[in-house]
Chain A
C-alpha cells in the first residue's frame, strides 16, 4: 500500500508548483490521484462517492497560475458540494443531492482545488470509529486492525496513505484531531465562526468547524488563509508561512484515569521537546469535569438526535427504530434520549456555553494548552459498531474518548493534533493536542511548523507505511 507514482510524497503546494512551472498538468496529477483511489479504496474503503469525470473536466480547465492550480482535494461526505450526493453515511440520505455549494465549498473551488470525490464518515458522525451500514468501515492504512477513529476518518485514511496530501474535515467534537492522531498527520479545528460557513443558511454551528487534515503544515496554513471568513468579527489570520522566534508559555496537563502507555509517553516527550526548544512549560489542571461534561454533551447530542427522529418519523410514518432508514445505533440513541426534559437540555447548554469563559480564564496564564488528543491511541477496527444498541455505558465510553477534544469545540478555541510520536507498544502514531485562545490560530501554526521541523512526521509516516507493506508481503 505504498504510492510510488511520479507525484508521490509531494504536498499540495509542491504539486501546484509543478503545474505553475509547466512541469506537469493538473490533469496528469488528477489521473494519478484517481489511479491511487482505484488502487487503495478497495483495501482501505475511504470513499463514498467518486466523481472522476467531472474532476478530469475541471483539471483540463484549471488555471495553472492559482494557489492550488487544480490539485485534487477530497471533501468529507458531510457538507453540501453542488451536484454530489451528500449522505452523511446514512441510508436515509442516499437520495440527497444538493444542487449548490455552501460558502466553504465555494472557497475551496475558488482556491482552484479540484474535488474528485467524497470521503467516508460514521452515520451522522455518531460513533467512535468511521463505519456505517451503507459504505462499511474505513481501515487504518498503518495497520488494518485499527480504525481511523471518527469522524473525518475517510479523509484521514486518504491523506495518511498518500492518495491526496490534504483532505477536508468537519470537527464538532474532535473529528479532525482524533483521526489525524490515529494516522500520523496534522488535523486542525479553527476557532468557532472563523471559516466560511459550511451550513446551507450561512450560519455557524456552535461546535462544528470546517478545515483540513494534511501531511504538511504549510498546505493547511495556506488553505486556511483562502477559506477563512475575512468579513467576520475576528481579525483575519492570513497565510502563516513558518514558525515564530517568540518563546511562549505552554500549560500541560497530567491526564486522569486510565491512559494508554503510548499516549502518556508521547505527552511527556512532547512536553520535554517543547521545553528543550526554549518554551516555558507549566503544569495546569484541565478545567473540565468529565462527569459534568458527559452529561451535558449527551444532552446536546440528544437535541440533534431529536431533530433527526422527528424528521424520520414524519417521513416514514413509523417509529425511528422501525423505519429501517437509520442504523440501530442511531435509532436506539434517538429513542433513549427522547425523554430528556427541556430543563435538562437548557442546563446542559448553559454549561457548554460556559466553557468559553472557563478556557478564557485558563488562557490568562498560558499561551497554549497541551493535552493528549485522547486517552487511547486509537480504537481497534470495529465492523458493525453501527449495529449496536445505544446504552449509557457506551455513551460514557464514547465521551471519555472525546474528553480532551470535545470541550474545546464548545469553548470555540482553535486546536490542532500534531503527529508527535510513534507508540512503542502499538507501533501506531500518537498526536499531541495543542489548543490556543479564540482567534489565535497563528500561534498554533507557528508551533506546528516548529514541531514539524524537528519531528519530521512525514518521514515517520512513510517509514510506517513501508514497514506495513513489508509486513503485508510477509503474510
Chain B
C-alpha cells in the first residue's frame, strides 16, 4: 500500500481548538494494518500509533501554555484535552494493556508518557510559581498533575461509578482537587 502524507496547513483554528480535524494527518488502515500478520502485530501497530499520538498531544498541550495563564484555567484545559485524548483511543489502550502483560517494557513506555509530560511542565513552572500557596510549589504541581492523570487514565478505561458521568462536572471536580493540593485560594465567583 502506498502511503501519501497529507498536508494539514490552512486548517481553520476552530478545528484545532477542538482537538479534531477532518483533514488527514496520518496513515490509516490500508498503510499499516493490512500488512499485520496476526492479532499481536495489530496490537503493536495500535500501540506504536497511540504512543506517537500521545507524545504529540503532550507536546501541543505544553506548547499552548501562555505566559500569563491562570493555573485553574490551565488545569481545566489540560485535563479536558487529556480526557478527550484518552477517551478517543480506548481501543488502542486496551491493546496496550493486553500487550503489557507479556512485555513489561511496553508498560514502561506508557509510564514514560507521564514522565515526558511532567518534565515538560517543569519547564513551564515559572508561569505558575506565584499562584501556588503550597510550601513546596513544584512538588505540589507535580503531585496534582500526576494524581489527576492517574484518575483520568483509570476512569477512561474502567469508568468509576462514584465519579461524575458528565465530563464537564468530572473535570471541575478534578480541578478543585488539584487546587486543594496546590493550596490555591478559591476563585472569586465561589467566595
Measured CB to CB, the residues of A under 8 A from B are 6, 9-11, 14, 17-18, 21, 23, 165, 215-216, 242-245, 247, 265, 269, 272-273, 275-278, 420-422, 424, 449-451, 453-463, 466-467
Contacts and interface: CB of A to CB of B under 8 A. Distances in A.
B90 A450 contact: yes
30 contacts: A9-B23, A10-B22, A14-B15, A17-B15, A21-B14, A23-B12, A23-B14, A215-B22, A242-B87, A244-B90, A245-B159, A269-B36, A272-B42, A276-B39, A276-B98, A421-B29, A421-B30, A422-B34, A449-B88, A450-B91, A453-B91, A454-B91, A455-B33, A458-B28, A459-B24, A462-B24, A463-B4, A463-B28, A466-B6, A467-B4
Interface of B: 1-4, 6, 10, 12, 14-15, 18, 20-31, 33-34, 36, 38-40, 42-43, 46, 49, 87-92, 94-95, 97-98, 156-159
A459 B33 contact: no
Contact of B88 (A242, A424, A463, A467): A242
Nearest to A12: B22
Contacts of B87: 242-243, 245
Rank and list the top 4 A-B pairs by shortest CB-CB distance, nearest first: A278-B94, A277-B91, A422-B30, A459-B24
A273 B33 contact: yes
Contacts of A272: 36, 38-39, 42
Contacts of B43: 276
B88 A277 contact: no
A11 B159 contact: no
Contacts of A422: 1, 29-30, 34
A345 B102 CA distance: 58
Contacts of B10: 6
A457 B28 contact: yes
Contacts of A276: 39-40, 42-43, 46, 91, 94-95, 98
A422 B33 CA distance: 10
A275 B39 CA distance: 7
B22 A466 contact: no
A21 B21 CA distance: 16
Given A165-B22, A278-B98, A459-B6, A421 B92 contact: no
